[in-house]
Amino acid sequence: MTPFTTVTGVAAALPTPNIDTDVIMPKQFLKRIDRAGLAIGAFHDLRFDTDGQTRPDFVLNRAPYNQAKFLICGDNFGCGSSREYAVWGLQQLGIRAIIAPSISGIFFGNCEKNGLLAITLPPGDVDLLMAHADTPRTALMTIDLDAQTITAGPLRIGFDIPAARKALLLSGADHIQQTLDRAATITEFEAKQAATRHWLWARG
Amino acid sequence: MPRTLYEKLVDQHVVATIDDSHVLLYVDFHVMNEYTSPQAFAGLHSAHRPVRRPRAHLAVVDHVNPTRPITDLSQIEDAGGRLQIETLSANCARHGIQLFDLFDPRQGIEHVVVPENGFAWPGMVIACGDSHTTTYGAFGALAFGIGTSEIEHVLATQTLVYKVLKPMQVRIDGALPTGTSAKDIVMAFVERVGAAGASGFAVEFTGTTIDALSVEARMTLCNMAVEAGARAALIAPDQKVFDDLAGRPQAPKGAALADALRDWQDLRSDPDAAFARVVEIDTRAIAPLVTWGTSPDQSAPITARIPAPQGAGDQRALDYMGLDAGQPLDSIAIDRAFIGSCTNARIEDLRRAAAILDGRTVADGVTAIVVPGSKQVRAMAEAEGLDAIFKAAGFDWRGAGCSMCLAMNDDVAASGERCASSTNRNFEGRQGRGARTHLMSPEMVAAAAVTGTLTDVRTLMKATP
Ligand code: SF4
């Protein structure tokens, strides 16, 4: 996983609430067994019309937002299906961080596991960032994960992130290895459960 | 200290505490499908990691398979889908994981198959790479959807790094009005709190209405709670649940069952346990509901008119749906009717829909299909003669799978087509690019199919003698 330290880039505003993962990654891109080739699928039906032509009305098709690294989104971004394809596609499109008043649970977890920084902020702060993003001249922002700040021109907004999550994102470390390092504790738990609730181990 | 059911289930599965909000949670059982698992296995293989506990997993083919009869995988025209099915079966064989493949008599939608075979028990933690895993909360199991990286994590460690939720109580008392069912309760709940209203919460449904629901109806309720953002939905297990489990092939038996039953008695919220939020729903206010927009919380009683848009999101939804505010919902003509999905394709759902269709036929110009939730549901329905009712009415009687719930197979609505659907998501493009979905109960879909228009099912119900 790519570590996230300090990233500077263009932010694009997607104010519509409840943008679901069917919209972020439509079903026709889900029929594969690898993670590659998903950039084309990200927001596909918003980016392209039925003839495959680029839709100029969609923000990510317009300069400078076609270079966007950050998305400033409405409420409940990423709701719906658990498909991690949505996160892989956004990353392959160049997106490094999502900022929204609320981000749906499974999608949030998927971001975290892939090093896509997901930040929730009070609606007022999101509105401020959205106003900056909406003007091409002020759309450039910097996210400093270590300092936990988002800077856009004179605007500087802090964000919260649990220490363990921050450390993982900064280092880009392997989540599974971290848990495997606790294998002895898992074995202990299993032994205890098999003794105190043995029926959980008695399927069929 | 008094605890809620949710807190008890979490406490019983904490392997280690990670920080104030996260624990390492033990997963007793894990379910996989063909479309969210391949990259998890690929990750495992490239890191040369084994599956920690192969017997704690089940894999089911359900999302991409056709629902027209086939006898061999080579008859699946879609190469990508076929590859996912073949990959799942190779991965299961390699790791010794139980698989219900396409030709297994137990195949069907994962959330129908798992309870049907008795895999979901009270007191378990169950994870699955699909958001509607909340279904198993009907049994008093803590069950939730996960992404592909987390599938890999469960395969390798049998645990998850889990963010602990806040408990929410949803209290529903009173008798359900005629013509309504669990789908209407959950749609009313989603409408009330909003699509993100239960985000960060584990919902526990309580009250006399819930006590009176069948186990299948409770599954419908817990299944769709995720459309309010709930990462878990729970109902305290009662005698109905214990009776339902008895005799199912994978349920505990003998001495194990006796001990389980003792532990299961304790799976309820303590009387003075504190919930972070309490929502009360009055059943007298529940009517047959239909959605008018592109988010499951955009619904209204069938007798109402489409509400005036509140904000850009509502207007965008109406534009996509080709509808105007003020239009009576029961004036909207449909092109398709779909009865299926993990929300509403169990035997009781098919029975209620068939009761409406009996002696009636699908309106001209409406294409109607019914996709039973599993092969076992299909066989049961055929034994009862329900298939004959559906077919006589003009419904296509199909094989089991997700089908037009997400339209990953060849059951797809065309752009602009309007579908009355017993599913759980009316998102833009969900049933096909440009397709327009109206969510409702299966009996309401049946009513719309025969009239060709969204219809109040109560007008078609036979007077009870
Ligand atoms: S029936 Fe629909 S909601 Fe249920 S698992 Fe299948 S695709 Fe998902």
pLDDT average, residue stretch B318-346: 98
Condensed to tens digits (0 to 9), the pLDDT of residues B290-305 reads: 999 999 999 999 999 9
Burial class (CB in 10 A: 0-12, 13-18, 19+), B11: exposed
pLDDT average, residue stretch B216-225: 98
Q: Do B406 and A27 touch (CB under 8 A)?
A: yes
Q: Which atom of ligand 1 is nearest to the CA of B423?
A: 2
Q: Do B199 and A176 touch (CB under 8 A)?
A: no
Domains and CATH numbers, chain A: 6-173 (3.20.19.10)
Domains and CATH numbers, chain B: 23-162 (3.30.499.10), 288-462 (3.30.499.10)
* pLDDT for B36 beyond 90: yes
> Tokens 């998927």, residue?
A110
Contact in structure between B19 and B219 (CB atoms under 8 Å): no
Q: Which residues 81-100 of chain A have a CB within 8 Å of chain B?
A: 81-84, 87
Q: Do A203 and B250 touch (CB under 8 A)?
A: yes
Which pLDDT value is given to residue B34? 97
Which pLDDT value is given to residue B47? 96
Which pLDDT value is given to residue A203? 81
* pLDDT for A76 beyond 80: yes
Which pLDDT value is given to residue B465? 41
pLDDT average, residue stretch B310-327: 94
Which of the listed residues B109, B135, B144, B425 should we mutate to test ligand 1's pocket, taking the one with most ligand atoms within 8 A of CB? B109
* Minimal-distance CA residue of chain B relative to A114: B149
Count the helix, strand and coil residues of chain A and give each as a percent rounded to the nearest 5: 40, 20, 40
DSSP assignment, residue B274?
P
pLDDT average, residue stretch B62-86: 94
* pLDDT for B93 beyond 80: yes
- Distant-in-sequence, close-in-space partners of B40: CB < 8 Å, separation ≥ 6: B32, B129, B148, B149, B151, B152, B155
- Distant-in-sequence, close-in-space partners of A154: CB < 8 Å, separation ≥ 6: none
Q: Does A19 touch chain B (CB under 8 A)?
A: no
Residue A176 alpha carbon to ligand 1 centre in Å? 28
Nearest to B23 by CA among B33, B32, B12: B12
* pLDDT for A2 beyond 90: no
Cα separation, B6 vs B140, whole angstroms: 9
Least Cα separation, residue A34 to chain B (angstroms)? 6
DSSP assignment, residue B333?
B
Contact in structure between B349 and B214 (CB atoms under 8 Å): no
Cα separation, B347 vs B358, whole angstroms: 16
Which protein residue has the closest C-alpha to ligand 1 atom 1?
A: B341
Helix (H, G, I), strand (E, B) or coil at B353: helix
Condensed to tens digits (0 to 9), the pLDDT of residues B344-372 reads: 999 999 999 999 999 999 999 999 999 99
* pLDDT for A91 beyond 80: yes
Instruction: Nearest by CB to B146, from A82, A162, A183: name it.
Output: A82
Which pLDDT value is given to residue A204? 57
Contact in structure between B84 and B34 (CB atoms under 8 Å): yes
Tokens of B177: 């009005």
DSSP per-residue string spanning A68-92: --EEEE-TTBTBS---THHHHHHHH
* pLDDT for B213 beyond 60: yes
Cα separation, B463 vs B465, whole angstroms: 6
Condensed to tens digits (0 to 9), the pLDDT of residues A29-39 reads: 999 999 999 99
pLDDT average, residue stretch B47-73: 96
Q: Do A190 and B26 touch (CB under 8 A)?
A: yes
Residues whose beta carbon lies within 6 Å of some atom of ligand 1: B 63, 109, 111, 130, 132, 341-342, 402, 405-406, 424
Q: Do A82 and B20 touch (CB under 8 A)?
A: no
Which pLDDT value is given to residue B312? 83
pLDDT average, residue stretch B268-283: 97
Which pLDDT value is given to residue B463? 55
Nearest to B164 by CA among A105, A21, A9: A105
Q: What percent of chain B has pLDDT over 90?
A: 97
Burial class (CB in 10 A: 0-12, 13-18, 19+), B29: buried
pLDDT average, residue stretch A7-33: 96
* pLDDT for B146 beyond 80: yes
Q: Which residues of A touch B38 (CB under 8 A)?
A: 32-34
Q: Which residues of A touch B200 (CB under 8 A)?
A: 105
Nearest to B52 by CA among A61, A68, A44, A189: A189
Cα separation, B340 vs B353, whole angstroms: 11
* pLDDT for B240 beyond 90: yes
Q: What percent of chain B has pLDDT over 70?
A: 99
The whole-chain average pLDDT of chain A stands at: 96
* Minimal-distance CA residue of chain A relative to B148: A84
- Distant-in-sequence, close-in-space partners of B463: CB < 8 Å, separation ≥ 6: none
Which of the listed residues B405, B423, B426, B427 should we mutate to test ligand 1's pocket, taking the one with most ligand atoms within 8 A of CB? B405
Q: How many CB pairs under 8 A join A and B?
A: 193
Long-range CB contacts for residues B320-324, cutoff 8 Å, separation at least 24: B320/B294, B320/B428, B320/B436, B321/B292, B321/B293, B321/B294, B321/B436, B322/B416, B322/B418, B322/B436, B323/B292
Q: Does B129 touch chain A (CB under 8 A)?
A: yes
Q: Does B403 touch chain A (CB under 8 A)?
A: no
Nearest to A186 by CA among B122, B147, B54, B14: B14
Q: Which residues of B touch A185 (CB under 8 A)?
A: 15-16, 24
Side-chain half-sphere exposure of B294, counting CA atoms within 13 A: 28
Which protein residue has the closest C-alpha to ligand 1 atom 6?
A: B402
β B14-17/B22-26 pair status: antiparallel
| pLDDT bracket for residue B338 (50, 70, 90) | very high
Cα separation, B30 vs B56, whole angstroms: 6
Contact in structure between A99 and A71 (CB atoms under 8 Å): yes
Which of the listed residues B37, B60, B132 should we mutate to test ligand 1's pocket, taking the one with most ligand atoms within 8 A of CB? B132
* pLDDT for B100 beyond 80: yes
* pLDDT for B311 beyond 90: no
Which pLDDT value is given to residue A1? 80
* pLDDT for B375 beyond 80: yes
Residue B214 alpha carbon to ligand 1 centre in Å? 21
Q: Does B84 touch chain A (CB under 8 A)?
A: yes
Contact in structure between B165 and B200 (CB atoms under 8 Å): yes
Q: Which residues 36-65 of chain A have a CB within 8 Å of chain B?
A: 45, 50
* pLDDT for A46 beyond 80: yes
Least Cα separation, residue B157 to chain A (angstroms)? 6
| pLDDT bracket for residue A164 (50, 70, 90) | confident
β B14-17/A6-14 pair status: unpaired
Cα separation, B193 vs B187, whole angstroms: 10
Least Cα separation, residue B422 to chain A (angstroms)? 17
Contact in structure between B225 and B202 (CB atoms under 8 Å): no
* pLDDT for B154 beyond 90: yes
Q: Which residues 146-205 of chain B have a CB within 8 Å of chain A?
A: 146-150, 152-153, 156-159, 161, 163, 195-196, 199-200
Cα separation, A73 vs B25, whole angstroms: 31
Long-range CB contacts for residues A59-62, cutoff 8 Å, separation at least 24: A59/A12, A59/A13, A59/A14, A60/A12, A60/A93
